[in-house]
Amino acid sequence: MNHEPTIVELFSAHRGELVNYASRILGDRSHAEDVVQEAYLRLDSAIVDQPLREPLAYLYRIVRNLSLDVRRRLMRERGRMPSGGEAAMDEIAEDRPSPESEVGARGEVRLLAQAMAELPDRTRVALEMHRFAGCSIREIANRLDISVGTAHALVIDGMEHCRRRLFRGR
C-alpha cells in the first residue's frame, strides 16, 4: 500500500533541511525559520487550489524565493538601497481600499478575532507574538520557555485554525 505523504508529514520530514537551505541564502537562522514557516503556509494554500505533482520541489522553490525576498529587504533596511531609491519610493501612489473592501475586511477581522479567542492560551500567545509582534520562532520559544519545535507547532496550529475559520466563514 503506497501512502502519499500529507503536507504536514512532508513538511515535518524536510523542515530541518529547508531551514538549513534558507539559512545558507539568508545567513541568519531565525529569519530562515520564519521563511520556512511562511513557505509551508503558501504551499498549503496552493494545494487547496489544485494538487501538485512535486510538492517538495515546489516547497523548496517557495523557500528560495521567500529567502531572496527577505535578503533583499534586509539589505535595503541596512541602508544598502541604491542611490535614488528613497525618491523612487516616495513616487509610489498611495493604495487605499474601497469602502466595500473595508467592510469585507472588517468582517474578516471579526472572524479572525473569534477564531483566535477559540485557541488555547499558549497557542494564541505564540501566534500573536509571531504575526502581530513580529517575533521569530526562536524568540517565541525563548520567551515562552519552550523548544523551537514546540513554538513552531503552536504557531502553525494557530494559523491553521484561523485559516479554516476564515474560509468556513466566507
Residue pLDDT, tens place only, 109-141: 788 888 889 999 999 999 888 887 788 999 999
Average pLDDT of the segment spanning 68-74: 89
Confirm whether pTM is higher than 0.85.
Answer: no
Please tell me the distance from the alpha carbon of residue 89 to that of residue 37, in angstroms, as a whole number.
29
Last residue of a domain, one of 31, 59, 77: 77
User: Would you say residue 48 has pLDDT above 80?
Assistant: no
Whether 89 is in a domain gets the answer no
Whether 58 is in a domain gets the answer yes
Q: Which CATH number covers residue 164? A: 1.10.10.10
Pair 114, 53 in one domain = no
The interaxial angle of helices 121-131 and 137-144, nearest 10 deg, is 140
What range defines the domain where residue 50 resides?
Answer: 7-77
With cut-offs at 50, 70 and 90, classify the pLDDT of residue 107: confident
Pair 73, 113 in one domain = no
Average pLDDT of the segment spanning 34-43: 86
**Percent share of the chain, pLDDT over 90:** 26
Whether 84 is in a domain gets the answer no
Whether 100 is in a domain gets the answer no
Cα 143-147-148 angle, rounded to 5 deg: 85
Pair 118, 163 in one domain = yes
Average pLDDT of the segment spanning 7-36: 88
Output the pLDDT for position 33: 92
The most distant pair of C-alpha atoms in the chain lies apart, rounded to whole Å, by 61
Whether 135 is in a domain gets the answer yes
Output the pLDDT for position 111: 83
Pair 113, 71 in one domain = no
Pair 65, 11 in one domain = yes
Name the least confident of 86-90, 121-125, 157-161.
86-90
How far apart, in Å, do the first and last CA atoms of the chain sit?
A: 37
Pair 62, 124 in one domain = no
Cα–chain-centroid distance for residue 47?
A: 16
User: Would you say residue 94 has pLDDT above 70?
Assistant: no
Rg (CA), the chain: 18
Pair 23, 64 in one domain = yes
- Number of domains within the chain: 2
Expressed in percent and rounded to 5, the helix, strand and coil fractions of the chain are 80, 0, 20
Eight-class DSSP state of 81 = P
Average pLDDT of the segment spanning 18-43: 89
Pair 11, 52 in one domain = yes
